[in-house]
Amino acid sequence: MATPAYISASAKPACIQSGPACPSFSGLRRTGFEQCMRAPSTFVDLEKVVACRSSRGVVTMAGTGKFFVGGNWKCNGSKDSIAKLVGDLNAAKLEDDVEVIVAPPFIYISQVKDSLTAPIQISAQNSWVGKGGAFTGEISAEQLKDIGCEWVILGHSERRHIIGESNEFTGKKAAYALEQNLKVIGCVGEKLEEREAGKTFDVCFEQLKAFADAVPSWDNIVIAYEPVWAIGTGKVATPQQAQEVHAAIRDWMAKNVTPEVAKKVRIIYGGSVNGANCAELAKQEDIDGFLVGGASLKGAEFATICNSVTAKKAVV
Q: Which amino acid is at 25?
A: F
pLDDT surpasses 80 at 25: no
Per-residue model confidence (pLDDT) at position 234: 83
Question: Distance between CA 79 and CA 87 in Å, rounded?
Answer: 12
Nearest to 188 by CA among 272, 246, 109, 136: 246
Tens-digit pLDDT profile for residues 98-109: 999 999 999 999
pLDDT surpasses 70 at 3: no
Per-residue model confidence (pLDDT) at position 232: 82
Tens-digit pLDDT profile for residues 257-270: 999 999 999 999 99
Interval 128-144 mean pLDDT: 97
Interval 166-189 mean pLDDT: 98
Question: Distance between CA 102 and CA 70 in Å, rounded?
Answer: 6
Per-residue model confidence (pLDDT) at position 85: 98
Per-residue model confidence (pLDDT) at position 1: 45
Q: Which residues contact 109 (CB under 8 A, 6 or more apart)?
A: 122, 124, 144, 147, 148, 149
User: Is 47 tagged catalytic?
Assistant: no
Question: Distance between CA 274 and CA 303 in Å, rounded?
Answer: 10
Per-residue model confidence (pLDDT) at position 29: 42
Catalytic option among 156, 246, 285, 301:
156
- Res. 62 pLDDT band, cuts 50 70 90: low
Tens-digit pLDDT profile for residues 202-211: 999 999 999 9
Report how far apart, in Å, the C-alpha atoms of 3 and of each of 10, 15, 164, 171, 303 are.
11, 20, 10, 19, 43
Question: Distance between CA 239 and CA 59 in Å, rounded?
Answer: 13
Mean of all residue pLDDT scores within the chain: 85
Per-residue model confidence (pLDDT) at position 11: 40
Q: Which residues contact 8 (CB under 8 A, 6 or more apart)?
A: 160, 164, 165, 166, 167
pLDDT surpasses 90 at 88: yes
pLDDT surpasses 60 at 12: no
Catalytic option among 158, 190, 194, 226:
226
pLDDT surpasses 70 at 138: yes
Per-residue model confidence (pLDDT) at position 10: 38
User: Is 156 tagged catalytic?
Assistant: yes
Per-residue model confidence (pLDDT) at position 314: 66
Return the half-sphere exposure (C-beta side, CA atoms, 13 A cut-off) of residue 7: 11
Higher pLDDT, 49 or 236: 236
Rg for the chain, CA atoms, rounded: 19
Q: Which domains does the chain have, with CATH numbers?
A: 62-311 (3.20.20.70)
Nearest to 195 by CA among 227, 224, 223, 165: 227
Q: Which amino acid is at 126?
A: N
Question: Distance between CA 71 and CA 84 in Å, rounded?
Answer: 15
Per-residue model confidence (pLDDT) at position 51: 44
- Res. 313 pLDDT band, cuts 50 70 90: low
Burial 207-230 (b: 16+ CB within 10 A, else e): bbebbbebbeebeebbbbbbbbbb
Higher pLDDT, 87 or 32: 87
pLDDT surpasses 60 at 121: yes
- Res. 65 pLDDT band, cuts 50 70 90: confident
Per-residue model confidence (pLDDT) at position 233: 83
- Res. 231 pLDDT band, cuts 50 70 90: confident
End-to-end Cα spacing for the chain: 58
